Amino acid sequence: MDKDLTGERAYSDTLIVDQREANQQLVIATIRSQELAVEADLARQRAEDSERKLRAVADFREMFIGMLGHDLRNPLASISMAAGFLLARGQLDDQDAKKVSLIIRNSDRMSRMIMQLLDLTRARLGGGMPIEPKPADLRAICQSVVEEFDAPIQLEVVGDMTGTWDADRLAEVLSNLAGNAIEYGTPGTAVTVKARADGADAVVEISNLGVPIPPDVLPFIFEPFRRARKREKSATGNLGLGLYIAHQMVLSHGGTREAHSADGTTTVVMRLPRRS
């Protein structure tokens, strides 16, 4: 009988010790869990603070670019206007006339760069590109853009291409896309612009012949300061913002864009709802 009691007492003591150790482990685990939760909260707060600081720096940088571009426009316009006046008077000799023409060309190029920087600022800080939709004819817009370039462009338009869009903005989109296709196409080959009606949408496809865009680059060509080809600088002096700005303008119209590049042909497709 005593042996049985002694055995039971020893067993109970063992259970008590095991329970005490289990409780201790549970307390330790609970404390550690709380410590990890605190550490996770602190890490999340640090990440959020870092993200806010980076966003503030990016916003300031883009705001500064916008203000700088805005302030540069007036003196640049004065330079271009004065140079144009000198050239129009017709009192310059050939050498001076060439120099003044060079001033005008470079002023125009700088003006385009400044406008791109201002558009970048509007898109990044203003929540998208501002547009003023009005009744417009995409056929006429395409024709006007094609006539801007000396390079060969084949234009094909099928169907009713009327809708409510910002004609000036769409002209800028098409000019950017066509100019990019000309710049990166094989010299001597024609760029093709096809516009067609597709129910409630209008679709424009711009294609060129040349070296395909690498698959790892293609998804990023509509990002700012990215180019389809790795060059030190653009042959036309662009900043690498044209496709980004064009994409933002298409989005502002409620449209979509996509790009394909294979077998020596690169095509950018723009789809626009007729009512922006």
Fold of 134-273: Heat Shock Protein 90 (3.30.565)
90: left (phi over 0), alpha (psi -120 to 50) or beta: left
Are β-strands 191-198 and 265-273 bridged in parallel, bridged antiparallel, or unpaired?
A: unpaired
CB 177 within 8 A of CB 140: no
Section 199-215 average pLDDT:
93
Could you tell me which residues are beta bridge partners of residue 265? 209, 262
pLDDT for 222: 86
pLDDT band at 154 (very low <50, low <70, confident <90, very high): very high
Residue 128 has pLDDT above 80, yes or no: no
Residue 232 has pLDDT above 50, yes or no: no
DSSP per-residue string spanning the chain: -HHHHHHHHHHHHHHHHHHHHHHHHHHHHHHHHHHHHHHHHHHHHHHHHHHHHHHHHHHHHHHHHHHHHHHHHHHHHHHHHHHHHHHHHT-S-HHHHHHHHHHHHHHHHHHHHHHHHHHHHHHHHSSS-----EEEEHHHHHHHHHTT-SS-EEEEEES--EEEE-HHHHHHHHHHHHHHHHHHSPTTPPEEEEEEEETTEEEEEEEEESSPPPTTTGGGTTSTT--SS--SS-TT---S-HHHHHHHHHHHTT-EEEEEEETTEEEEEEEEESB-
Which two structure tokens, joined as six digits, stand for 247? 């994409």
Section 82-110 average pLDDT:
85
More confident residue, 109 or 199: 199
Are β-strands 162-165 and 201-209 bridged in parallel, bridged antiparallel, or unpaired?
A: unpaired
More confident residue, 266 or 82: 266
Question: Any idea which architecture 1-127 has in CATH?
Answer: Orthogonal Bundle (1.10)
pLDDT band at 33 (very low <50, low <70, confident <90, very high): confident
Which two structure tokens, joined as six digits, stand for 237? 């002096």
Section 144-166 average pLDDT:
93
Domain ranges of the chain: 1-127, 134-273
Min mean pLDDT across 105-109, 117-121, 185-189 is at 117-121
pLDDT for 49: 79
CB 253 within 8 A of CB 271: no
pLDDT for 276: 62
| pTM for the predicted model, two decimal places | 0.60
Mean pLDDT in the chain?
A: 81
